Amino acid sequence: MNMKRPVWIDLFLILSVVIPFALYMATLAPSVTFFDSGEFLTATASLGSAHSPGYPLFLMYAKAFTWIPLGNVAFRVNMATAFSSSLACLGVYLLTIFLLKDEQPVENRRFSDFAVKAAGLAAACSFSVTPRLWLQSNHDKPYPLLAFMSAIIFYLLLKWRDHYKTGDERPAYVYVCTFLAGMAMGLHQSVVLLLPAWILLIVLADWRMVTRVKELVLATAFAMLGFSVNLYLPLRATQNPLLNWGDSKTSTQFLWHFLRKGYPEDSHPRDLTLLWAQIKAFNVPREFTWLGAALVMFALFCLWRRNKAVVIAYLAGVGTFLLVIAGYFNTLPDLIFLTEEFFTPLYLLTAVLVGVGLYNVLDFAIRSARPPERFDVKIYVLVLVLLFSLPVSLCAVNYYENDQHDNYIAYDYATNSLRSLPQNAVMFTWGDSGAFPLWYLQGVERMREDLDLPHTPHIVFDWYLDSMPRIFKDSNLRKFDIQNSAPEVSMRIAVNDLINQRPVYIDFSTRYSVAFNEYVPVQKGIVYRLRRISEPGGMPDISVWNNYNNRGILEKISFLDLDTGKAILIYANSYLEAGEFLMSIGRIGEGMQMLDKADLISPEMKTSTQQVLMRYGKAR
């Protein structure tokens, strides 16, 4: 009679995924948000190509979630990121318990296993509620999936090291790692910054590994096989998807897209203040508190005695990231916030160290006291309280600012813009955050397909003109070397082509980013119609305000990032501008109502509104 071996379910492992995922679903953004959200959503829904480097692996991963019959497409893709963040927390758990697998603070094996797994779960939960990961988890982002894949590579390399020390080489572990590393390039190229750490884990086991030509060739072949996921970009480009950033049909365009050649590279001076700001982008105390930072230092001290390679690999990863991002790229002050997202894999490793630190604090406490003969429920509860004080505190501190369950500001901003436009209009946009939600609503939700919404910074590229044949097929832009001209110059050429054919509008960002000499912007809510100076002036249309949704504008929501704050200020400034115009033509009562709304939306506007009221003798 064959006796089946019992299968034990690791409840802590399951909880390391379930707890973060439940938390993220409770705080998940219900629709499109600002920044790159609308662009990623449109690229995912159409299986197209996002901004450089394209993110093909993330788009294919998230596409599967669009088939779930729950909420709108944006909610489903947001859920995909929430799940990948939960997997990243699983990676923290796996790495933590692996590093602690040989630890046993007391002879009671059951209690020792519980302590190790509880520390791993506490580390996973701590990582789940850090500001950076939580922010990325509530809407579409590729970095949590990149962090998870990085964690799996570290985990497999650590297992390979253990087998290698016992004479069991198992090169397949390394081949799988190189395959995953190559595939991760389809998420973001910052994965290459972890290569020194991974190489050190191999070389510190046996430096002669670098002399094995056969293994190196096979590892490179597997890396290239994983990298082949990027062939999705040229293959899919031949089908002309809805969003086809860079149009990678040719090898030249593929390299232009993948190597991020479309982004300007302006040199600027270095100084110590800027360098310090760049280095501070990797901020462990901000993510894990100063207690967490102390636990990391304690963990590094404890690991140095037992597993020096892990400490060296972690420090090498931190050093490489800072050397490249701060040293080589020399990021501008107003763009440093973008680099903070690149550090997500490092924060995952830091969370592992937090777990190791928590365990060693527990181990020290147990060894300093007299261990009881019997470990009852009270002791288990006391251990849980000790280990989970940090994640619970982090959750309490960060919950309010990361709760996006009622964040409709980007969705409403885009729909309000579309409601403001007449049939068959053209509206030029400027900032990405204002343009991308429009792309999602029109391309995925199929709203206002009669409109054309050219994005001004892109009309200097031929591939972008090709993607909008309805307005650019015979444009005069085709006659000039637009790629070497400023976007506003190309915009003026395009406006001249269209102004006599269709209603031409601009959004708020364009209104205050481009100087118009031959045209007058006429306000219509939060957008502006362009008219020639020679045309009759007419009056701004204020009736459109009655059709607007103002969720999160007139009544505040908890979540408020940089772009959301800008959108709120756009509403406030638009109300201020409308109120000032109404008062200038004698419609004092309506003008004062508009000014009151500007004050209500943004109390910072009170000085400006008071100045307008004083000008018309209505100060209060």
Residue 436: closest CA among 563, 265, 247, 260: 563
Per the prediction, the chain carries an average pLDDT of 89
pLDDT on residue 620:
65
Can you list the alpha helix ranges (DSSP code H) found in 420-482? 432-443, 462-467, 469-472
What is the pLDDT averaged over residues 399-423?
93
DSSP string, 178-230: HHHHHHHTTT-GGGGGGHHHHHHHHHTT-GGGGG-HHHHHHHHHHHHHHHGGG
Are 46 and 426 contacting, i.e. CB atoms less than 8 angstroms apart?
no
Which residue(s) pair with 234 in the sheet?
none
pLDDT on residue 1:
43
User: For residue 562, what are the contacts with CB-CB under 8 A and spacing of at least 6?
Assistant: 337
Are 526 and 416 contacting, i.e. CB atoms less than 8 angstroms apart?
yes
Q: Which residue in this structure is represented by tokens 């991002």?
A: 325
pLDDT above 90 for 265: no
Place 224 in a pLDDT band, splitting at 50, 70 and 90.
Answer: very high
Tokens of 149: 């894949």
pLDDT above 80 for 375: no
Q: What is the Cα–Cα distance from 577 to 525, expressed in whole angstroms?
A: 10
Are 390 and 126 contacting, i.e. CB atoms less than 8 angstroms apart?
yes
Q: For the whole model, what pTM was predicted?
A: 0.92
pLDDT above 70 for 8: no
pLDDT on residue 142:
93
Summarize pLDDT for 53-63 with one digit per residue, the tens: 999 999 999 99
Which residue(s) pair with 428 in the sheet?
506
pLDDT above 70 for 2: no
DSSP conformational letter for 325: I
pLDDT above 80 for 369: no
Secondary structure class of 410 (helix, strand, coil): helix
Strands (DSSP E) contained in 348-410 are none
Place 264 in a pLDDT band, splitting at 50, 70 and 90.
Answer: low
Q: What is the Cα–Cα distance from 427 to 438, expressed in whole angstroms?
A: 10
Summarize pLDDT for 548-586 with one digit per residue, the tens: 988 888 777 777 778 888 888 999 999 999 988 888 888
Amino acid at site 215: E
Can you list the alpha helix ranges (DSSP code H) found in 501-619? 508-511, 562-584, 588-601, 606-615
What is the pLDDT averaged over residues 487-510?
91
Provide the b/e sequence for 342-372 (b: ≥16 CB within 10 Å): bbbbbbbbbbbbbbbbbbbbbbeebeeeeee
Helix 143-165 vs helix 195-203: crossing angle, to nearest 10 = 10
pLDDT above 50 for 225: yes
Contacts 24+ apart (CB under 8 A), 263-269: 263/52, 268/330, 268/332
Are 491 and 483 contacting, i.e. CB atoms less than 8 angstroms apart?
no
pLDDT above 80 for 481: no
Residue 323: closest CA among 148, 194, 201: 194
Place 371 in a pLDDT band, splitting at 50, 70 and 90.
Answer: low
What is the pLDDT averaged over residues 241-250?
91
Amino acid at site 122: A
Residue 246: which region, alpha, beta or left (left: phi > 0; alpha: psi -120 to 50)? left
Residue 520 dihedral angles phi and psi, to the nearest 5°: -120, 120
pLDDT on residue 18:
97
pLDDT on residue 110:
83
What is the pLDDT averaged over residues 604-617?
87
Q: HSE, CB side, 13 Å, CA atoms: give it for residue 552.
A: 24
Report domain extents, the chain: 21-400
pLDDT on residue 192:
94
pLDDT on residue 462:
87
Which residue(s) pair with 528 in the sheet?
506, 523
Are 349 and 234 contacting, i.e. CB atoms less than 8 angstroms apart?
no
Summarize pLDDT for 329-351 with one digit per residue, the tens: 888 777 787 788 899 999 999 99
pLDDT above 70 for 266: no
DSSP string, 31-46: S--TTTHHHHHHHHHT
- The highest-confidence range among 62-66, 487-491, 589-593, 605-609, by mean pLDDT, is 62-66
Summarize pLDDT for 439-468 with one digit per residue, the tens: 999 999 999 999 999 999 999 888 899 889
Are 210 and 203 contacting, i.e. CB atoms less than 8 angstroms apart?
yes
Kindly tell me the burial class for residue 526, based on how many C-beta atoms sit within 10 Å of its own C-beta (0-12, 13-18, 19 or more): buried
Secondary structure class of 505 (helix, strand, coil): strand
Q: What is the Cα–Cα distance from 390 to 504, expressed in whole angstroms?
A: 55
Q: Which residue in this structure is represented by tokens 């894990």?
A: 288
pLDDT on residue 62:
96
Provide the b/e sequence for 587-614 (b: ≥16 CB within 10 Å): bbeebbbbbebbbebbeebeebbeebbe
Residue 143 or residue 553, greater confidence: 143
User: For residue 396, what are the contacts with CB-CB under 8 A and spacing of at least 6?
Assistant: none
User: For residue 507, what are the contacts with CB-CB under 8 A and spacing of at least 6?
Assistant: 417, 427, 428, 429, 430, 431, 434, 435, 526, 527, 528
Share of the chain above pLDDT 90, in %: 56
pLDDT above 60 for 5: no
pLDDT on residue 238:
93
pLDDT on residue 538:
66
What is the pLDDT averaged over residues 421-432?
93
Are 313 and 200 contacting, i.e. CB atoms less than 8 angstroms apart?
yes
Secondary structure class of 455 (helix, strand, coil): strand
Q: What is the Cα–Cα distance from 73 to 505, expressed in whole angstroms?
A: 28
pLDDT on residue 4:
53
Are 42 and 439 contacting, i.e. CB atoms less than 8 angstroms apart?
yes
pLDDT above 90 for 293: yes
pLDDT on residue 106:
65
pLDDT above 90 for 160: yes
pLDDT on residue 378:
82
Count the neighbouring beta carbons within 10 Å of the beta carbon of residue 541. 15
Helix 562-584 vs helix 588-601: crossing angle, to nearest 10 = 170
What is the pLDDT averaged over residues 253-274?
80
Peptide bond into 53 cis (omega under 30): yes
Residue 575: closest CA among 611, 545, 537, 548: 545
pLDDT on residue 372:
65
Share of the chain above pLDDT 70, in %: 96
Q: Which residue in this structure is represented by tokens 């105390």?
A: 285
Q: What is the Cα–Cα distance from 269 to 285, expressed in whole angstroms?
A: 29
pLDDT on residue 226:
96
